Copies of this chain bind each other. A is one copy, B any other.
Amino acid sequence: MSARTSPASAQSAAAPPFLTEPVEDYLKAIYELETRTGAAATTDVANALQVAPASVTGMIRRLAAQGLLDHVPYRGVQLTEMGRRAALRTIRRHRILETYLTQVLGYAWDRVHDEAERLEHAASDDLIERMSAALGHPTVDPHGAPIPTADGTVDERNHRTIADLTVGETVRMLRVSDKDPELLRYLAEIAMQPGVSITLLQRAPFDGPLTLRVGSGEQVVGSTLAAQVLVESLPVPEASASDAGSPSTRPRSARKSSR
Contact = CB atoms under 8 A, between A and B. Distances in A.
Contacts of A126: 111, 115
Contacts of A111: 126
A107 B130 CA distance: 9
Instruction: Say how many copies of this protein the assembly contains.
Output: 2
A124 B131 contact: no
A44 B45 CA distance: 43
A6 to B, nearest CB: 28
A72 interface: no
A188 interface: no
A87 to B, nearest CB: 19
A114 to B, nearest CB: 8
A115 B124 contact: yes
21 contacts: A101-B127, A105-B127, A105-B130, A105-B131, A105-B134, A106-B130, A107-B130, A111-B126, A114-B124, A115-B123, A115-B124, A115-B126, A115-B127, A118-B122, A118-B123, A118-B124, A119-B119, A119-B122, A119-B123, A121-B122, A122-B122
Interface residues of A, number: 18
Interface string A69-113: 000000000000000000000000000000001000111000100
Contacts of A134: 105
Interface of A: 101, 105-107, 111, 114-115, 118-119, 121-124, 126-127, 130-131, 134
Contacts of A101: 127
Contacts of A115: 123-124, 126-127
A8 B123 CA distance: 39
5 A-B pairs with least C-beta separation = A122-B122, A118-B122, A105-B130, A119-B122, A115-B124
Contacts of A122: 118-119, 121-122
A121 B21 CA distance: 13
A259 B46 CA distance: 48
